[in-house]
Amino acid sequence: MTDKNKSKTKGKHLKKYEPQMNMCIRCAYCFESCPIVKETQWDTDGARGKVILSYGLLTGDLEPSQYIADKFFRCTFCRDCVERCPSKVDILDIISSARAELVEAGFASETHKHIVDNIKNTGNIYGDTEVISQERDGKTPLFIGCQYLGRPNKTKKYIKILEKLGFEPLVSKEICCGFPMEVLGFREEYEEHKKKFKKYFPHENAITLCPTCTVFLNEGHNIDAKHVLQVILEKIPKANLGLKVTYHDPCDFSRGLKIIEEPREILKKLGVEIVEMEHSRENSRCCGGGGGILMTDQKLSDNIAKKRIYEALETEVEILVTSCPTCETVLKKAAQEISEEEGKTISVRNIEDIIWMGLKNVEAS
Amino acid sequence: MKSLDIKKLRDIVGEENIRDNLADLYVYSSDASVHSSMPNVVVRPGSTQEVQKILRYANKNRIPVIPRGAGSGMSGQTVPIDGGIVLDMKRMNKILEIRPEDVLCKVEPGVINDELNRVLEPYGFFFPPTPSSGKICTIGGMIGTNASGNRSVKYGATRDAVLGMKVVLANGDLVTLGSNTKVDSSGYQLAKLMVGSEGTLGVVVEATLLISPLPKYRAMGIANFKTLEDAGKMISSVIAAGVTPSMLELMDHVAITAVNKAQNLDLPDVAAIVIFECNGMTKEAVDYEINQIKEISRKNNGTGVKVTDDPDEMTRIYAGRKKLFPSLSRYREKLYTTALADDMAVPMSKIADTVKKIHEIAERNNIVMSAYGHCGAGLIHTKILMDTSEKSQWEGAKKAVKEIYEYVHKIGGTTSGEHGIGFSKGPSFKQEKKDSLDMMRKIKQALDPNNILNPHKLMDSPDDWLTATPLRYQIKDL
């Protein structure tokens, strides 16, 4: 039998998950629709592989290395494995803890370091000191998030939508929720950032625009955060846009927050017919943009996104709607490439565009 | 074993399909069993020709080759005890032919069971073996272990659905075995021999499979029993009455308690629950069989007998059985599920006695065991729940496994019903089949004289599974 008594890593982050790793019965059910395994077909790239590698790092069977780090950063955090796991192992916590071990052992990627430095120095992932936060007085705290701060026109649109529907959003200068630090394994930096975040955003509840920020405000900061679509659902008027679309469920929505019906109900109220893709709702396939993979393995991310666009094309509609800015960006790029290469086209739109069109439609009529 | 020429293998499969990094080898050192042992290299062939080239090279140089599908086997079939080449077959995943008029299909070994069924559905057919790992397990793996599942009571196991195959032998030769017909009286049934051979006789590169028409109607029921004996009698009476349920599943009291605790399902606090399902082409035919089962349940003191054909209600009834596996993992803190003595099959009339015996042995050896499974086919699944960090628990498990199998063999049962032997069950298997081990070894010697194909499995497995390889757990004082 093996001598697994000495650990070559600190195991600081992984130790508490040892029972979870033992709970993993290694059944491989997590392979079923893992976007990475579907692409590479290597067992090492699936959740089971990552749990085994984590166990190796914890027990000292494996030493941290760049090769292992690259494996751990090959994950979109799409939560599909979590849904499939019959033993309900906290797979994402294990992966992010292993990432933390690897980062502390000196195996962080330069791109990820750059993002974390941006957050530390400027408060947002883009390192943009001129970010317009569109501050305004109001009653309900609105957390915009880096992705929307970097897309000021979209933010403006959502704020106008909220105001048109009778909300009074309170917008103040904000900093990143810190999710990138946590998910990329920069835990010390995140703990520091968390204290700072509280000062900028001292609220106990919030409306949010980004699905990932919504999850993380709840889980990481204990803030009662509701996504804007949950909040405005009841107030959306009936419109008659007459569009036929397919809807891509962002992973943090359908599997993280279980927000599945709300966007569909909103679209239906606005007179939009939805043609579902083969994999939708909690079984939605990943767009390929999450977990930091977009920054470290663009080709893999592109391939995953293209698969999703091919699935959308099978619905034979002209528009794919989603409700996450990252999904939108990644899928738009994939759709553009497929259009150029094969002449098959589908337009990728974010749901706020459709809501805005719907409200205009109501005003016009 | 001579040293491996990685470059040679790389030339065969290409850079993208070979890994010898320690991290990859570590991942491929285990499957869903308790064991672990590192290969020297993992290779993914993409064609029959590549498999032939790899085997020719390995045979010449006496290098072990371990074929692997999804790596979801529970008995260590794909754990490379002597290292060597792990042959990951998932790249060979094409469905080659679907011939509804001949009621067959031809597939490569890396095709996933449910993917095959997804493709067969529009033709109105399905591939009958239904392992619970169907969403990820490969046809090659199913052939290797003669897998089955909860519908084996009606449709049998993989062997019953394999008509023929193409196999690469240890020396790299390609042979075609079996036929395209349901009946075959033409000499030795070598295709059937390959099923369940766990990669020790050849590498399957193509399989011809019998498919079945999809049933148009199904109904499901549940019955509760105050004693295991009554549940056991009900199960054997159903089969003896000539009824052919498509599912006949037992859950014992430990299983019921685990599900209630973990999932809040509020199943009745009884000694056993039996879940049954019938399917067919007409409602009348299904209702007739369901009514027979209801009657037999009542005659055997079954209470709370409920039957439905509502899909949602059927899902609800089966939820307890479906959620049993994850529930066992959460049964008690620090007790982890291990796949040991996990799939014995016994004569139908001995099911209740066997389940009682399992609990008695578990208690005596200070471990927790649950019994459930496809009892309509005589198959009992057990899981040993234990603190895997404690040496004494492993020693207790080893004793329990031995005692359970001694009992199973004494009553005329067999070591494995559907998961196969690997080497977790080696000692018991060798005990059970002691009269035919020599015959098996001669077959192996004839087909694989250099013993390169998955060595140390089945009849050649080590005498002590506990020390055969490192276990994949951290164990104190071991």
Chain A residues whose C-beta sits inside 8 Å of any chain B C-beta: 1-2, 4-5, 18-19, 22-23, 25-29, 31-32, 41-44, 48-49, 52-53, 55-56, 59, 61-62, 65, 67-68, 71, 84-88
Q: Name the percent of chain A lying above pLDDT 70.
A: 96
Classify domain A15-104 at the CATH superfamily level.
Answer: Alpha-helical ferredoxin (1.10.1060.10)
Q: Measured between alpha carbons, how far is A274 from A267 in angstroms, rounded to an integer?
A: 8
Which of B21, B460, B354 is closest to A56 using CA atoms? Answer: B21
Residues composing chain A:
365
Burial zone of A224 (CB within 10 Å; 0-12 exposed, 13-18 middle, 19+ buried): exposed
Q: What is the largest CA-CA distance in chain B?
A: 68
Q: Which residues of chain B lie closer than 8 angstroms to A48, CB-CB? A: 27
- Give the residue carrying structure tokens 């650990």: A7
Strand partners, B167: B175, B204
In three-state secondary structure terms, B345 is: strand
Q: Measured between alpha carbons, how far is A215 from A231 in angstroms, rounded to an integer?
A: 15
Q: What is the largest CA-CA distance in chain A?
A: 77
Looking at the partner chain, which of A19, A27, A61 has a beta carbon nearest the beta carbon of B26? A61
Residues composing chain B:
478
Q: Which residues of chain B lie closer than 8 angstroms to A29, CB-CB? A: 133, 135-136
Burial zone of B311 (CB within 10 Å; 0-12 exposed, 13-18 middle, 19+ buried): exposed
A77-98 tens-digit pLDDT: 999 999 999 888 999 999 999 9
| ipTM at complex level | 0.95
Q: Give A93→chain B minimum CA distance, Å.
A: 18
Over residues A111-122, the mean pLDDT reads 94
The answer to whether A32 contacts B478, with C-beta atoms less than 8 Å apart, is no
Q: Where in chain A is the domain with CATH 3.40.50.1860?
A: 236-364
Q: Per residue of chain B (478 residues), give pLDDT as tens.
A: 667 999 999 999 999 999 999 999 999 999 999 999 999 999 999 999 999 999 999 999 999 999 999 999 999 999 999 999 999 999 999 999 999 999 999 999 999 999 999 999 999 999 999 898 999 999 999 999 999 999 999 999 999 999 999 999 999 999 999 999 999 999 999 999 999 999 999 999 999 999 999 999 999 999 999 999 999 999 999 999 999 999 999 999 888 988 887 777 788 999 999 999 999 999 999 999 999 999 999 999 999 999 999 999 998 888 878 778 767 877 788 889 899 999 999 999 999 899 999 999 999 988 888 888 899 999 999 989 999 999 999 999 999 999 999 999 999 999 999 999 999 999 999 999 999 999 999 999 999 999 999 999 999 999 999 999 999 998 886 6
Give the CA dihedral A308, A310, A316, A322, nearest 10 degrees: 20
In three-state secondary structure terms, B272 is: strand
- The pLDDT value recorded for residue B61 is 96
Q: Are the C-beta atoms of residues A291 and A324 closer than 8 Å to each other?
A: no
Give the fold, CATH level 3, of A236-364: Rossmann fold (3.40.50)
Q: Which residues of chain A lie closer than 8 angstroms to B44, CB-CB? A: 41
Q: Which residues of chain A lie closer than 8 angstroms to B131, CB-CB? A: none
Q: How many CA atoms lie within 13 A of B279 on its CB side?
A: 17
- The pLDDT value recorded for residue A3 is 43
In three-state secondary structure terms, B220 is: strand
In three-state secondary structure terms, B207 is: strand
Q: Measured between alpha carbons, how far is A362 from A228 in angstroms, rounded to an integer?
A: 20
Q: Measured between alpha carbons, how far is B301 from B28 in angstroms, rounded to an integer?
A: 49
Q: Which residues of chain B lie closer than 8 angstroms to A1, CB-CB? A: 466-467, 470-471, 475, 478
- Give the residue carrying structure tokens 């790596």: B71
Architecture (CATH level 2) of domain B217-327: 2-Layer Sandwich (3.30)
Contacts of B315 (CB under 8 A, 6+ apart): none
pLDDT at A1 over 50: no
Chain B residues whose C-beta sits inside 8 Å of any chain A C-beta: 19, 21-24, 26-28, 30-32, 36, 44, 70-72, 88, 90-91, 133, 135-136, 325-326, 329-330, 333-334, 336-337, 339, 388, 466-467, 470-475, 478
Q: Where in chain A is the domain with CATH 1.10.1060.10?
A: 15-104
Nearest CA in chain B to A61: B26
CATH number of B95-213: 3.30.465.10
